[in-house]
Amino acid sequence: MSNERTEIATLGEFGLIEHLTKNIELQNVSSILGVGDDAAVIDHFGKQTVVTTDLLIEGVHFDLAYTPLKHLGYKSVIVNLSDVYAMNAIPTQITLSLGISNRFSLESLDEFYEGVYAACSAYGVDLVGGDTTSSQKGFIISVTAIGEVTPEKFVKRSTAQKGDLLCVSGFLGSAYVGLLFLEREKKIYLESPGVQPDLEGESFVIGKLLKPEARKDIVEFFAKEEIIPTSMIDVSDGLSSEILHLCKESNLGCVLYEEKIPVAEEMKKAAFKFEIDPTACALSGGEDYELLFTISQSDYDKLILNEEISVIGYMTEVEQGANILTKGGGKHPITAQGWNHLAQ
Amino acid sequence: MSNERTEIATLGEFGLIEHLTKNIELQNVSSILGVGDDAAVIDHFGKQTVVTTDLLIEGVHFDLAYTPLKHLGYKSVIVNLSDVYAMNAIPTQITLSLGISNRFSLESLDEFYEGVYAACSAYGVDLVGGDTTSSQKGFIISVTAIGEVTPEKFVKRSTAQKGDLLCVSGFLGSAYVGLLFLEREKKIYLESPGVQPDLEGESFVIGKLLKPEARKDIVEFFAKEEIIPTSMIDVSDGLSSEILHLCKESNLGCVLYEEKIPVAEEMKKAAFKFEIDPTACALSGGEDYELLFTISQSDYDKLILNEEISVIGYMTEVEQGANILTKGGGKHPITAQGWNHLAQ
């Protein structure tokens, strides 16, 4: 962070917006009009439009004590793009609204926007509008993402079929373990401010928490291999919670194999330092932004071409319930224990 | 407000979303998929899509001491629809994200949503998605509105021409005077809680503040009469501020006639009780959600068919600046003194 400090009030609201958006270059031909008018204009001839929105609040969704603003800007975009990919759609535009308290300097905001623009650039998305206002307390971020999908190719949560394979991308549970490390170091720091943080060797799990990516590659793989998942959702609240969503919405049950749940070696080692079960982290951790989906068994041969995808179970009739078969041979109902922000 | 009180935590996040959205009926054929998946799906074949967003924060944008929640829900939608109309577009969908502190009961939230649904119904708009989370302090509302416009008929701020007529819909300044009354009564109440509020006869100005409407009728009138304004903006920060936006973006000056600025009789009387100038309220008050626009002089004959529209000036070369000609015959540069939330 630079040492300069420009008070935001010196710019005024419109000066601030101008400052923050002056470097935007629109990337999508469908972005006809961007920031600077009452609304943006988007051209979607022959495509269907997908729209999703997320509200991130300081102290609830992120802690600025250990979250670099640039990473936060990046992640604020990613969590929304992930929802667009979970519809089998391609994100094209975002809007960004911020509530900022007066303890924020212009330099801090610039860092946040650096992350926003980095994500926009990495995923080919245009920032086309927003709103900037003051907040009485805390930093508030609201992102809306818009995407395109070829008509009738969008994938809902409710259309899985009995016998479909249950699949997930990447590794699960890492972000949660990263959070445990950062929370521990914050506690130590607050108790003994002189102690240096001991995060040696944990850059993998911490990176997964602070700078997640959305699975653009998986949706592109589906298009290339002409796979249309029968249902899909992104993993933001933990695998259990998302599986139960697919089951409930599709009115099905499922069998999940514990041994098939993909967890990274780095995450396992890190979880053992906290004496917690890696499987529990994967099931209940959340913030993975991987894609959980079902495919028809006939697509299995295409699917195995992609090493980033694991088959973790299959869908059953609703009467059989949603169950996990543990490594020890036990069978238990899957229960949602995701991060429930409302219960905090 | 009913006397029941259900703690929101008893429902859980997903239970809450289900409760709040169970009565949604989609009104637009373009709303292909609504609440309940990762993203909504919208069909916009042959139309251009307009998108706008606003973030409203308790203590900054509204005061729950005198704002009924139902009105707040209604207004949260209206302020976004107004931005869509200001593009000469028709709003079709909204997303709504809320941050709620635990002092809110389910019944309070229901009241808020009643207002949201009332606005959606009155303007033919579908609620298609959102996010609900807890906030550490205060009520936070983020609305994104999406609309359609026939290709190339959207109206920007930057395309006014020299000689165009400057026009505005409705009356200006009323909401600001309504706010003065409510702030006065709140102060009296806080000092002497026994005193009953004295808002007799001020329902007009208070109604304009608490339950504004968006000018759907004006955009429909344009379509019927085949008028395309040369530039347009909605009046949210006060007439002065919005005129300066049109001038700056279009690189023009203007002449504004004080005597032509439309103010309601009820507002004039109310303003005099505070010994303030009705013109000042119109110029700097804000929250009117009227449409300010420019039209070619050749459209004047069509325009005068609509009694809701006032011609208040005309556009000049940029060198002449943006000036107001006062009733007394003076000529002064127009200065923006709108509500600047960031300077608070």
- The domain locations on chain A are 8-149, 165-343
The backbone torsions φ and ψ at residue A46, rounded to the nearest 5 degrees and listed phi first, read 75, 10
Q: How many CB atoms lie within 10 A of CB B239?
A: 29
Secondary structure of chain B as H, E, C letters? CCCCCCEHHHCHHHHHHHHHHCCCCCCCCCEEECECECCEEEECCCCEEEEEEEEEEECCCECCCCCCHHHHHHHHHHHHHHHHHCCCCEEEEEEEEEEECCCCEHHHHHHHHHHHHHHHHHHCCEEEEEEEEECCCCCEEEEEEEEEECCCCCCCCCCCCCCCEEEEECCCCHHHHHHHHHHHHHHHHHHCCCCCCCCCCCHHHHHHHHCCCCCHHHHHHHHHHCCCCCEEEECCCCHHHHHHHHHHHHCEEEEEEHHHCCCCHHHHHHHHHCCCCHHHHHHHCCCCCCEEEEECHHHHHHHCCCCCEEEEEEEEEHHHCEEEECCCCCEEECCCCCCCHHHC
Return the pLDDT at B169.
98
Tokens 């994938």 sit on residue: A155
Asked if B175 contacts B290 with a C-beta cutoff of 8 angstroms, the reply is no
Taking the C-alpha atoms of residue B68 and residue B66, their distance in angstroms, rounded to an integer, is: 6
Estimate to the nearest angstrom the gap between the alpha carbon of A65 and the chain centroid: 21
Q: How far apart are CA A168 and CA A160, in angstroms?
A: 14
Distance from CA of A101 to the nearest CA of B (A): 9
**Beta-carbon separation of B37 and A130 below 8 A:** no
Question: From CA A337, how far away is CA A238, in angstroms rounded?
Answer: 8
The pLDDT assigned to A249 comes to: 93
Of A51, A43, A47, A24, nearest to A128 (Cα)? Answer: A24
Residue A196 CB coordination number (10 Å): 8
Q: Which of A13, A38, A344 is nearest residue B234 as measured by Cβ atoms? A: A38
The answer to whether A33 touches B154, Cβ cutoff 8 Å, is yes
| Mean pLDDT score, B80-99 | 94
Half-sphere exposure of A45 toward its Cβ, with a 13 Å CA cutoff?
A: 6
- Residue A88, min C-alpha distance to chain B (Å): 10
The CA distance from A223 to A217, in Å, is 10
Q: Return the closest-CA partner of residue A141 out of A115, A121, A123.
A: A115
User: Rounded to an integer, what distance in angstroms lies between the CA atom of residue B257 and that of residue B272?
Assistant: 21
Query: A33: left (phi > 0), else alpha (psi -120 to 50), else beta?
Result: beta
With a cut of 70, list the residues of chain A below it in pLDDT.
1-3, 13, 17, 36, 197, 337-344
Segment B23-43, tens digit of pLDDT: 777 777 778 777 777 777 777
**Span B171-189, average pLDDT:** 92
- B123 closest CA partner among B80, B167, B170: B80
Average pLDDT on B116-128 reads: 92
CA distance A302 to chain B (A): 25
CB contact under 8 A, A57 and B249: no
Token pair recorded at residue A248? 């409930």
Give the DSSP letter of residue A196.
P
> Which pLDDT score is estimated for A301?
95
Q: Which fold has domain A8-149?
A: 60s Ribosomal Protein L30; Chain: A; (3.30.1330)
CB contact under 8 A, A53 and B97: yes
Write out chain B residues lying below 8 Å of A129, CB-based: 51-53
Binary contact (B130, A37; C-beta < 8 A): no
Rounded CA separation A326/A259 (Å): 7
Distance from CA of A39 to the nearest CA of B (A): 4
Q: For residues A74 and A81, what is the distance between their CA atoms, to the nearest angstrom?
A: 11
B161: Cβ contacts below 8 Å, ≥ 6 apart: B230, B250, B252, B294, B296, B315
Residue B51 has its nearest CB partner, among A16, A40, A98, at A40
Nearest CA in chain B to A235: B38
- Pair B157, B232: CB distance under 8 Å: yes
Min Cα–Cα distance to chain A from B269, Å: 32
Only one residue has tokens 């959702």, namely A233
B234 contact residues in A (CB cutoff 8 A): 38
Residue numbers in A near B156 (CB within 8 A): 33, 37
- Neighbour-count burial of A3, counting CB atoms closer than 10 A to its CB (0-12 exposed, 13-18 middle, 19+ buried): exposed
Whether residues B41 and A49 touch (CB distance < 8 A) is answered with yes
pLDDT, averaged across chain B: 89
How many angstroms separate the most distant Cα atoms in chain A? 65
Residues in chain B within 8 Å Cβ distance of A150? none
Q: Which of B55, B81, B235 to mutate to test the interface with A (most CBs of A within 10 A)?
A: B55
CB contact under 8 A, A39 and B87: yes
Spell out which residues of chain B touch residue A16, defining contact as CB-CB under 8 Å: 342
Contact list in A for residue B8 (CB cut-off 8 A) is: 342
Most A CBs within 10 Å, among B54, B232, B342, B344, to test the A interface:
B342
CB-closest option in A42, A144, A151 to B53? A144
Domain B165-343 CATH superfamily: PurM-like C-terminal domain (3.90.650.10)
Match 């819909």 to its residue by tokens: B169
Partner-chain contact A53 B131, CB within 8 Å: yes
Chain B: closest CA distance from residue A37 (Å): 6
Count CB-CB contacts under 10 A for residue B198.
Answer: 11
Average the pLDDT over B94-106 and give the result.
89
How many angstroms separate the CA of residue B188 from the nearest CA in chain A?
Answer: 24
Residue B270 has pLDDT above 60, yes or no: yes
Q: What is the side-by-side strand order in the sheet with A140-149? A: A126-134, A90-100, A140-149, A48-57, B40-43, B31-33
Return the pLDDT at B3. Answer: 63
Q: Which of B37, B48, B342 is facing A41, going by the closest CB pair?
A: B48
* Cα gap B262→B247, rounded to integer Å: 20
Report chain A residues whose CB lies below 8 A from the CB of B57: 99, 133-136, 140
Q: Do A86 and B38 touch (CB under 8 A)?
A: yes
Burial B301-332 (b: 16+ CB within 10 A, else e): eebeebeebbebbbbbeeeeebbbbeeeeeee
Which residue of A lies nearest to B46 if distances are taken between CA atoms?
Answer: A45
- Give the predicted TM-score (pTM) of the model: 0.90
Q: Spell out the residues 6+ positions from residue A201 whose beta carbon is closer than 8 angstroms to its own.
A: none
A215-224, A324-333, B126-135, B212-221: range with lowest mean pLDDT: B126-135
As a whole number of angstroms, the distance between CA A92 and CA A289 comes to: 18
- As a whole number of angstroms, the distance between CA A85 and CA B151 comes to 27
Are B76 and B143 a contacting pair, CB within 8 Å?
Answer: yes
pLDDT of residue A338: 45
Residue B279 pLDDT level (bands cut at 50, 70, 90): very high
Instruction: Identify which of A51, A136, A249 has the shortest CB distance to residue B39.
Output: A51
Cα–Cα nearest to B246, from B310, B315, B297: B315
What does the block give as tokens for A239? 């695998």
| Cβ-based contacts of A54 with chain B (< 8 Å) | 97, 131
CA separation for the pair A158, B104 (Å, rounded) = 32
Looking at the DSSP bridge assignments, the partners of residue A118 are: none
Q: Contact B95/A44, CB-based, under 8 Å?
A: no
CA proximity to B112, closest of B81, B143, B82, B157: B143
Least confident of A277-291, B194-208, B268-282: B194-208
Residue of B nearest to A232 (CA): B38
Question: Which of A53, A158, A287 should we substitute to test contact with B (largest number of B Cβ atoms within 10 Å)?
Answer: A53
User: Cα(A99)–Cα(A16) distance, rounded to whole angstroms?
Assistant: 13
Q: Which of A39, A54, A233 lies closest to B131 in CB terms?
A: A54
Compute CA distances B336 → A142, A291, B238, whole Å: 28, 49, 8
Instruction: Tell me how far apart the 2 most distant CA atoms of chain B are, in Å.
Output: 65
Average pLDDT rounded to a whole number, residues B170-181: 95
Structure tokens at B211: 């339950």
Structure tokens at B106: 């389910």
Q: With contact defined as beta carbons under 8 Å apart, do B47 and B67 qualify? A: no
Chain A residues inside the 8 Å CB shell of B136: 57-60, 137-138
Name the one residue in this structure whose structure tokens are 């004039």. Answer: B268
Which pLDDT belongs to residue A3?
64
pLDDT at B102: 81
Nearest to A87 among B41, B132, B134 (CB): B41
Task: Please give the residue of chain B at the shortest CA–CA distance from A48.
Answer: B43
